[in-house]
Amino acid sequence: MKPEGRKDASRSEKRKSRPQHVAQVLSTRRISDHLVSLTLGGPGLAAFEAKDATDQYIKLLFADPALGLTPPYDLDAIREQHGPGGVPVRRTYTVRSVRAGADAAGIEIDVEFVTHGDEGLAGPWAAAAQPGDVIAFSGPGGNFAPTPGSWQLLLGDESALPAIACALEAMGPQERGVVLLDVEGPGDELELSAPAGVSVRWLHRGAAWTPSSTQLDAAVRAVQIPEGEPVQVFAHGERETMKALRKHLVEERGLDRRQLSLSAYWAYGRAEDAFQAEKRTPIGKIFPEDA
């Protein structure tokens, strides 16, 4: 007989090990055609501890308004009362910046959201958010930071823009490399703070992202990666594009997997929940050996 009670307790402890922060929306602003920046703060962020990573992320929790739930959420109690479908859904977003708040004991964070009209959950919420709105989240997580002295190759679409911007700001003035950003058009470009030796190239699709409109894979193939010196790659974005980049960079260019921070932030034609569920299946694995 399986020790079901022990198994359930273990899962519960795992969920409870991720404390929630409850933040208030302090301000909102549209920073490009498809990016909205929200500043979050308030006393609920007093325990927030930033990570020493340029891709640090948080997991926002969105509850069903019909259930009348108030954050922070007791996920076990909600699951027991309303079933798995009543548990707030998670959406992962990069923290663009962290700083002291107006209150000396407080923290403020900026989070940038890709928006495409009514598409998705977090994007429409961010586009409609008003000061005083409340959102709960867990985190932060994150692992990447540019290694000083390494030639940098930073790649992504709109979803990777905040993390790439943070990476550029963390580099010293002597760093070198190439940044390729696949966006819809000129209205999606941002002013980025890059060292003089890092070339930033904007790739304009001229349309919403599709497998045929993206230019990222083709642009990477034209980049000359220096030989005989350390190289570090940060590549994040649409899943099938990331698979193609992994194959090109590892199998064709001969880079070692350890040189790459490469993963999918989303998948074309997949809702977020389906995308997250597929991460546990072979189709969701960027590196075949992980399947």
Q: pLDDT, tens digit, for every residue of 143-177?
A: 999 999 999 999 999 999 999 999 999 999 999 99
Main-chain phi, psi angles of 28, to 5 degrees? -135, 150
What is residue 27's predicted lDDT score, i.e. its pLDDT?
97
Amino acid at 28: T
State yes or no: pLDDT of 102 exceeds 80. Answer: no
What is residue 4's predicted lDDT score, i.e. its pLDDT?
34
Helix extents (H) in the chain: 4-16, 75-82, 122-128, 161-170, 216-221, 239-246, 272-278
What is residue 178's predicted lDDT score, i.e. its pLDDT?
98
State yes or no: pLDDT of 10 exceeds 50. Answer: no
Tokens representing 244?
């193609």
Average pLDDT over residues 258-273: 92
Average pLDDT over residues 189-193: 97
Instruction: Report yes or no: 41 and 110 within 8 Å, Cβ to Cβ.
Output: no
Average pLDDT over residues 33-50: 95
Q: Which residue reads 């992504």 in tokens?
A: 156
Helix (H, G, I), strand (E, B) or coil at 172: coil
What is residue 119's predicted lDDT score, i.e. its pLDDT?
84
d(CA 164, CA 263): 14
pLDDT tens profile 54-92: 999 999 999 999 999 999 999 999 999 999 999 999 999
The band of 235, judged by pLDDT with boundaries at 50, 70 and 90, is very high
Amino acid at 138: S
Residue 204 to residues 27, 74, 186, 213: CA-CA distances in angstroms? 29, 44, 7, 9
Helix (H, G, I), strand (E, B) or coil at 239: helix
State yes or no: pLDDT of 291 exceeds 70. Answer: no
Between residues 166 and 13, the one the model is more confident about: 166
Domains in the chain (CATH in brackets) are 20-141 (2.40.30.10), 151-279 (3.40.50.80)
Average pLDDT over residues 121-127: 95
From the CB of residue 276, how many other CB atoms can be counted at a distance below 10 Å? 17
State yes or no: pLDDT of 95 exceeds 50. Answer: yes
d(CA 284, CA 288): 9
d(CA 109, CA 94): 10
Counting residues of the chain whose pLDDT is more than 90, the rounded percentage is 83
d(CA 140, CA 57): 5
The band of 217, judged by pLDDT with boundaries at 50, 70 and 90, is very high
CA distance from start to end of the chain? 29
What is residue 105's predicted lDDT score, i.e. its pLDDT?
60
Helix extents (H) in 134-192: 161-170
